């Protein structure tokens, strides 16, 4: 038991450190690509909805992650797999539908989120929001996958997930 705990503490700590370093590098690359200006402002507005959904649906210790861990942990692999498949199918349908709605209404959503943004920035933000909509169904797969991994005491992948 002591070895199991020690290995998991190291694995999670190492993975989290790698993830934080990758996040820092990501911000450096974003700053280099966009600089400060209209494009970066537009990106920040475009990322509000997909980023929020990614945190809520796919985030570690988010509601979906916690529910999956709570439900799957006491089950054997076969029964857990059946439940995970059923939830995955239903969640995929819901999140793909939501992504399509957001894609089709991206201009309206940007207008609601940023009414004082310049027309050029709104146009860029709308385009970027459309590019980011695939993050929405992916967030469901992330939440389910990491919840399933954690329910089986596999922690390393979920600790590096923010870097991915």
Q: Does the structure show a pLDDT above 60 at 26?
A: yes
Q: Report pLDDT for 6.
A: 67
Q: Does the structure show a pLDDT above 80 at 1?
A: no
Q: Report pLDDT for 23.
A: 77
pLDDT single digits (tens) 93-138? 999 999 999 999 999 999 999 999 999 999 999 999 999 999 999 9
CA distance 28 to 101: 32
Cα distances from 71 to residues 21, 53, 66, 84, 151, in angstroms, run 33, 22, 9, 9, 9
Q: Does the structure show a pLDDT above 60 at 29?
A: yes
Structure pTM?
0.77
**Residue 67 token pair:** 């529910």
Q: What is the DSSP string of 69-87?
A: HHHHTTS-HHHHHHHHHHH
The average confidence (pLDDT) of the chain is: 86
Q: What is the DSSP string of 11-61?
A: HHHHHHHHHHHHHHHHHHHHHHHH-SSHHHHHHHHHTHHHHHHHHHHHSTT
Q: Report pLDDT for 164.
A: 60
């Amino acid at each position: 038991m002591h070895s199991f705990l020690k290995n998991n503490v190291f694995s999670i700590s190492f993975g989290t450190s790698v993830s934080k370093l990758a996040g820092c590098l990501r911000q450096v690359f974003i700053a280099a690509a966009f600089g400060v200006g209209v494009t970066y402002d537009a990106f920040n507005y475009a990322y509000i909805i997909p980023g929020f959904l990614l945190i809520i649906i796919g985030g570690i210790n988010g509601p979906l992650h916690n529910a999956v861990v709570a439900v799957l942990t006491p089950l054997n692999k076969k029964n857990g797999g059946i439940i995970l498949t059923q939830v995955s199918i239903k969640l995929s349908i819901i999140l793909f539908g939501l992504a399509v709605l957001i894609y089709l209404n991206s201009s309206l959503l940007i207008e609601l989120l940023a009414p004082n943004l310049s027309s050029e920035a709104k146009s860029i933000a709308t385009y970027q929001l459309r590019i980011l909509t695939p993050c929405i169904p992916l967030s469901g797969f992330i939440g389910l996958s990491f919840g399933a991994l954690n329910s089986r005491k596999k922690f390393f992948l979920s600790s590096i997930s923010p870097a991915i």
